[in-house]
Chains A and B, each alone.
Chain A
Amino acid sequence: MTTVKEREILQEKFKEQMNEDELLNCMRCGFCLPSCPTYIESGYKESHSPRGRIALMKAVVDGLIEPDEDFERSLELCLGCRACEPVCPSGVKYGHLLEDARDVINQNKKFSMPARIVRKTVFEGLFPHPNRMKNLTGLIGFYQRSGIQTIARKIGFLGLLPENLVTMEKVLPKVPTMKEMKNRPEYLPSIGTKKHRVAFFSGCLMDTMFMKTNDATCKLLQITGCDIVIPPNQTCCGALHGHSGEKQSAKDLAKRNIQAFDELNVDFIITNAGGCGAFLIDYDHLLKDEPEWSARAKLFVEKIKDISEILVSVGFHQKVKLELPKQIITYQDSCHLRNVMKTASAPRTLLKSIKGVEYVEMKDADRCCGSAGIYNIIESEMSMKLLDNKMIQAKNTQAATIVTANPGCLLQMMVGIEREGLSVKMRGIHIVDLLLEAIND
């Protein structure tokens, strides 16, 4: 519970820090409503829709309501999938409003001791430090390989964890060893004629738990004629921080990344995680109030490109023979790749060009799967509802393979497949891993 005094302070901060023009830009036409997963799942509750949330933020700024627990709840339950943005004719930047509002709330909130420790560990202690991410992944590797995993499963220790975490434990990919994670390349030459010089944003989760996918990404880039620079001093993109109301930390990380990629003389900065890419591509907005950074941020942002986009633009799918055993495949959009980076057709073009497979579009492929960063852990009830619906649509396609383009979505798909008991006939895979498979086969 917050006290009256605390709410008054919070209200003041809202007045100071929210962008009133952006709030007014919403003309309440409601065109966003059908695109909002939480609006639909909550049984059409306006307070869980983008229009409702914007009205609530504005009402707090206007002093019509206090920022009480219900208000915070409305913002917490938002996935931040930003599906409301491409459908908004007025062009309201909902994602920015949400980040600003969460930042105000979190900077003025007294978290309980355990929550504080978790937030501090995750946001300050872990993600900004590549080596610590490696160590953590190493621990998971030790857990998986040492036999502790088998014992833990047998004695039922996992029963102490929430159900979706138990499932996640089961589906985590076999992680690389410490040794593998420490010997990462910093430069890879193109195979054949050089077309582009690119930098690769390796990401924290992608370069540890999904290292194999990063390797596959680089391999594809090499094949398409890219020299690849992978600056070792790059760090976490800051998305997790930005989405959780830790804007200052996000800014610090953004600056470190801009520095790391400055003066590399590359045509593009390639990402293979929609969640990271979308945050990187917003750095100019994040740093808009810091004049000494805004120009550099703009240059950085202009170079961000998802792997699918560059593959399609250089004609990878036309030049390289892609073939897989006969099967149906389908694609689950990464919300941020689609709604923020505007990459939706490129992955589909690539998948449709694989010989031997039938591509079937999944109904509502553009609807969030419920992963949404750490949402599936902290809002597991809503997340699992969304996932259950997603799996109904996935099953309807009869697909043997669900392709995604972001680690969070991939893990969620794996959890979904496991929950449905479908692991014998369905798998989840990152698009680059599938494309590499299609070459090797």
Chain B
Amino acid sequence: MLSSIVKEKIISVVTSENFDDSKVERLSYSYDSTPNFQSLPDAVVSPRNCQEVSEIVKICNEYKIPIVPRGSGTNLCGGTCPTEGGVVILFKHLNNILEIDEDNLTVTVQPGVITLDMTNAVEAKGLFFPPDPGSMKISTIGGNINENSGGLRGLKYGVTRDYVIGLEVVVPNGDIIRTGGKLAKDVAGYDLTRLMVGSEGTLGIITEATLKLIPMPETKKTMLALYQDLEAAAKSVSKIIANKIIPTTLEFLDQPTLKVVEAFAQIGLPTDVQAVLLIEQDGPPEVVNRDLERIAEICKQEKAVSVQVAATEVEAEALRTARRTALSALARLKPTTILEDATVPRSELAKMVNAINEIAQKYQLDICTFGHAGDGNLHPTCPTDSRNHEEMERVEMAFAEIFEKAIEFGGTITGEHGVGVMKAPYLELKLGKEGIAVMKAIKQALDPNNIMNPGKVFAKDNRKRVVVGK
């Protein structure tokens, strides 16, 4: 619990209306979308402006109280679970789109803006913000920046990082800094903007962001390629890229995933095939048509049993929306759904798909695979039951092996979900001791009291633990 003096100080900043430490409110912010992580914060605070954020940070820094900034709690790495208690900061008052600058093609937002709301607002002006994480309907921009979220369009357009060009950040001593700006070029000093993006709330609190926009593509078309062979689908992906075609979207769904997604969405997805590639291209009509024809040809060469183009935009949108529900829909199968996002170079995709299947067999687990195949970013997902401890141990071992395989193929332990608390024990696998030391030095310099989202990114020990939770 917070001492009464800290509580009084925080209330004097935000007023009692924006401070809550009742059991029910604390419980309500004790979790995010990551299975098996839950821990109660000591209080929940909703500052009304950047100045108030700064004052809260100063108080917490003085009294060494952990701070966990939280958007909508949709992350998948335990990033906003207050594992060490402290104060959860909400951004419900900081939720405005401040400016859409049509001359500079930028949008400036507060962190609490819902991703989709911003996407819709800029699209209404003929502009385009490509990052589209699966949870964009509810996730916040602040959360996306902190997690460096990806999405379905990452293949062609990159991820959140590629669109953040300026930030206002409250750093752990309470100072307010501004990085970058509405600038296409800016090499003044270290790239602090990029340092903050994906820092998972461990280096500061983002209170405003300026994002780069691009012109809306003229047209887009969506296509489904069906396969009776997983490896053939994966090979098609590598071959499309090797043929120097970069589609907007190149998504992979295996049969178990197709079945649950269809059970929810009921849009007529094929459930009698082993795998499906959802392919999308945007741009000028002639380019889109030419690319889709070439892609269809490649898919057929790689033993696709059928290739279909969505007849209307409504149908295409239904397919994309259905794909975004894949993870949650898999939760229909078993009480607990453990998901990972191991990522490999795109040329290694077929090898990785095979490796996942072998590992699943070895540990006698059902592992469903879907993901952003075009990015080499797969989401092997294991439907299980956290009450079955013996099975959970096997899940733990299987995922450890999947991570090792990914690294062996030149990949990474997480492509877009972040490290958080869930993958912290594996970070060293990717970065090595020396890499971790550099990151720790940065953290130590900025946050000597370790108040900003403690327990995340850096593992307390190297005991490997993804899913066998507390």
Contact = CB atoms under 8 A, between A and B. Distances in A.
Interface stretch (A23-31, A157-165, A376-384): A23-31
Interface of A: 21, 24-31, 33-34, 43-47, 52, 55-56, 59, 64-66, 68, 70-71, 73-74, 88-91
Given A28-B31, A28-B33, A55-B27, A43 B92 contact: yes
Contact of B137 (A24, A25, A31): A31
A4 B33 CA distance: 32
Given A55-B31, A64-B30, 16 more contacts: A24-B336, A25-B331, A27-B327, A28-B31, A28-B35, A45-B28, A47-B24, A47-B28, A52-B28, A55-B27, A59-B30, A71-B24, A73-B24, A74-B24, A89-B326, A90-B329
Contacts of A47: 24-25, 27-28
Contacts, number: 102
B337 interface: yes
B435 interface: no
Interface in B25-42: 25, 27-35, 38, 40
Contacts of B114: 34
Interface residues on B, range: 35 or more
B210 interface: no
10 contacts: A24-B335, A27-B328, A29-B135, A29-B327, A31-B328, A46-B28, A46-B29, A64-B30, A65-B23, A71-B24
A42 B438 CA distance: 43
A47 B24 CA distance: 7
Contact of A91 (B332, B336, B337): B332
B14 to A, nearest CB: 14
B74 A89 contact: no
A24 B385 CA distance: 9
B323 to A, nearest CB: 11
Nearest to A27: B331
B112 to A, nearest CB: 8
B28 A27 contact: no
A91 B329 CA distance: 8
A109 to B, nearest CB: 17
Given A56-B24, A68-B23, A33 B331 contact: no
A89 B328 contact: yes
Contacts of B30: 55, 59, 64
A34 B138 contact: yes
B106 interface: no
Contacts of A34: 114, 137-138
Contacts of A44: 90, 92
Contact of B138 (A31, A59, A68): A31
Interface in B291-347: 325-329, 331-332, 335-337
A27 B264 contact: no
Nearest to A66: B23
A46 B329 CA distance: 22
A33 B72 contact: yes
B263 interface: yes
Interface string B1-39: 000000000000000000000111101111111110010
Contacts of B24: 47, 56, 65, 68, 70-71, 73-74
A68 B26 CA distance: 13
Contacts of B31: 28, 55
A74 B32 CA distance: 19
A25 B333 CA distance: 9
B454 interface: no
B331 A65 contact: no
Nearest to B75: A30
A70 B138 contact: no
A25 B329 CA distance: 10
B73 interface: yes
Contacts of B264: 89, 91
Q: Which of B24, B35, B73, B137 has the most CB of A within 10 A?
A: B24
A27 B337 contact: yes
A25 B325 CA distance: 15
A70 B33 contact: no
A80 to B, nearest CB: 19
Interface class of chain B by DSSP: loop
A421 B54 CA distance: 47
Nearest to B387: A24
A70 B29 CA distance: 15
Q: Which of A29, A44, A45, A90 has the most CB of B within 10 A?
A: A29
Given A30-B74, A70-B23, A90 B138 contact: no
B328 to A, nearest CB: 3
Given A29-B135, A30-B74, A31-B137, A89 B331 contact: yes
A412 B273 CA distance: 49
A89 B28 contact: no
Nearest 10 pairs between A and B by C-beta? A89-B328, A24-B335, A90-B331, A70-B24, A89-B325, A46-B28, A27-B331, A89-B329, A47-B28, A29-B328
B27 A56 contact: yes
B27 A59 contact: yes
Nearest to B17: A43
Given A30-B72, A33-B138, A25 B335 contact: yes
Contacts of A24: 335-336, 385-386
Contacts of B23: 65-66, 68, 70-71
B230 to A, nearest CB: 23
Nearest to B134: A29
A357 B182 CA distance: 50
Nearest to B117: A34
A44 B138 CA distance: 11
Contact of B328 (A33, A43, A90): A90
A47 B22 CA distance: 11
Contacts of A68: 23-24
A27 B35 contact: yes
A59 B329 CA distance: 23
Nearest to A28: B33
A30 B138 contact: yes
Contacts of B135: 29-31
A90 B22 CA distance: 30
Interface in B50-107: 72-74, 90, 92
A44 B137 CA distance: 14
Contacts of A90: 328-329, 331-332
Nearest to B70: A46
Contacts of A91: 263-264, 332
A318 to B, nearest CB: 24
A90 B335 CA distance: 10
Nearest to B336: A24
A109 B378 CA distance: 50
A333 B138 CA distance: 23
B155 to A, nearest CB: 23
Contacts of A33: 72, 138
A75 to B, nearest CB: 10
